[in-house]
Amino acid sequence: MKYINLFVKTTILLIFMLQTVCFSAEDYRIKEELASSQPKIPLKNAMGDEAYNKAMNSGEYYYVGNTKCRLCHRKFFLGRKKDPHDFAMESLIASGHEENPRCLTCHSTGHGVKSGFTSIKKTPRLSNVQCEGCHGPGNVHIRLIKEKKRWGFLTGTDKPKRLKKMCQSCHTKRWDRSYHDLKKAYDKYRNADPNSKVKK
Ligand code: HEC
Ligand code: HEC
Ligand code: HEC
Ligand code: HEC
């Protein structure tokens, strides 16, 4: 009886220790992030300070939310509904950091920019890393398209270097598990559904 009791106690202790180890292994990046300085706005990092300040101070660019994109890019909109970028806010909610500005920089659309995400309550339509989280504010693009012109994004497909730098602005050394080969990962996002095996 004595031995069984000891066995049960040891097992419980072991399970407890294992759990602690596993949780801290999962959490160490969050701890590191919390101890670092506020990360730079991805769009600012991708464009460089000068170009960013010029564009954003002009007041010409603002975020519109992905429901606007759905009107003309239905396939992309639906394809991205399965992509983890569209669930980035859920990761913050699960870890209790959905109001932490440090985390929102990379888990929402345009946080830190005037027209960008502020909170789930105030700007639910800009939750997660949406279309404009990679391509930048979309209002000018929509205006140009309506005038039968094209382009208009600050990090559009006509600026692949900047768009690549956008990936790297969020996928930093600390947050580096999503891909090993940037070029390969980047190319996948030409497809409406980046995780589909079939080419568009
Ligand atoms: C009124 C219809 C319309 C809306 C709304 C619209 N687009 Fe487009 N978009 C187009 C068309 C048409 C093209 C193709 C232009 C071309 O290649 O000549 C295009 C091209 C693009 C491209 C590739 C060319 C580039 O400039 O990089 C991207 C990226 C894009 N759209 C993203 C978006 C996003 C993000 C939104 C929402 C903020 C959006 N679009 C809203 C019609 C629209
Ligand atoms: C605004 C920040 C941000 C930008 C910009 C960004 N990502 Fe991400 N990415 C994330 C976050 C956050 C996640 C994880 C979402 C989650 O699980 O909560 C992620 C997840 C991923 C994944 C994992 C997908 C999977 O199927 O598991 C890939 C691949 C990826 N990103 C590639 C890219 C590429 C390529 C670019 C540039 C074209 C890019 N990302 C731009 C923040 C960003
Ligand atoms: C510099 C951008 C950036 C910041 C800041 C950031 N994250 Fe992330 N986060 C990512 C990326 C990118 C991923 C996708 C996983 C990867 O590539 O390592 C991710 C994934 C996650 C995940 C999914 C589980 C995992 O570990 O893959 C959680 C949870 C998470 N982040 C929580 C947070 C919290 C909490 C904060 C704030 C303390 C935070 N993140 C700040 C970019 C960021
Ligand atoms: C993770 C970053 C990321 C997100 C989020 C994202 N895109 Fe893109 N998108 C890219 C990349 C990378 C390319 C390829 C750029 C190139 O051709 O150099 C691309 C290309 C495109 C193109 C042009 C496709 C072609 O035929 O060349 C369109 C249109 C587009 N995206 C629309 C959207 C829309 C609409 C959304 C939201 C529903 C969206 N994107 C979300 C990264 C992203």
Q: Which residue minimizes the CA distance to atom 28 of ligand 3?
A: 91
Say what the pTM is.
0.93
Ligand 4 in reach of 80 Cβ (< 6 A): yes
- Nearest-atom number in ligand 1 for the CA of 152 is 26
What is the percent of the chain with per-residue pLDDT over 70, rounded to a whole number? 90
Q: What is the pLDDT of residue 179?
A: 97
Probe target for ligand 1 pocket from 73, 163, 166, with the most ligand atoms within 8 Å of CB: 73
Q: Which residue minimizes the CA distance to atom 6 of ligand 3?
A: 103
43 with 154: CB under 8 angstroms?
A: yes
- The domain segmentation of the chain, as residue ranges, is 1-36, 39-188
* Conformational region of residue 152, where left means phi above 0, alpha means psi within -120 to 50, and beta covers everything else: left
Nearest to 88 by CA among 62, 64, 67, 117: 117
Residue 70 or residue 6, greater confidence: 70
Calculate how far, in angstroms, residue 197's C-alpha sits from the geometric centre of ligand 1. Answer: 23
Flag whether pLDDT at 200 surpasses 50: no
Ligand 4 in reach of 163 Cβ (< 6 A): yes
Calculate how far, in angstroms, residue 107's C-alpha sits from the geometric centre of ligand 3. Answer: 7
Ligand 2 in reach of 186 Cβ (< 6 A): yes
Query: pLDDT tens digit string along 132-191?
Result: 999 999 999 999 999 999 999 999 999 999 999 999 999 999 999 999 999 999 999 999
Average pLDDT over residues 40-52: 98
Query: pLDDT tens digit string along 79-120?
Result: 999 999 999 999 999 999 999 999 999 999 999 999 999 999
* Conformational region of residue 149, where left means phi above 0, alpha means psi within -120 to 50, and beta covers everything else: beta
Lowest mean pLDDT of 7-21, 43-57, 84-98, 155-169, name the range.
7-21
Query: pLDDT tens digit string along 135-150?
Result: 999 999 999 999 999 9
Calculate how far, in angstroms, residue 142's C-alpha sits from the geometric centre of ligand 1. Answer: 7
Ligand 4 in reach of 186 Cβ (< 6 A): yes
Structure tokens at 8: 């049960």
Structure tokens at 27: 């959490």
Lowest mean pLDDT of 3-7, 66-70, 120-124, name the range.
3-7
Confidence of residue 3 (pLDDT cuts 50, 70, 90): confident
What is the Cα–Cα distance from 71 to 29, expressed in whole angstroms? 38
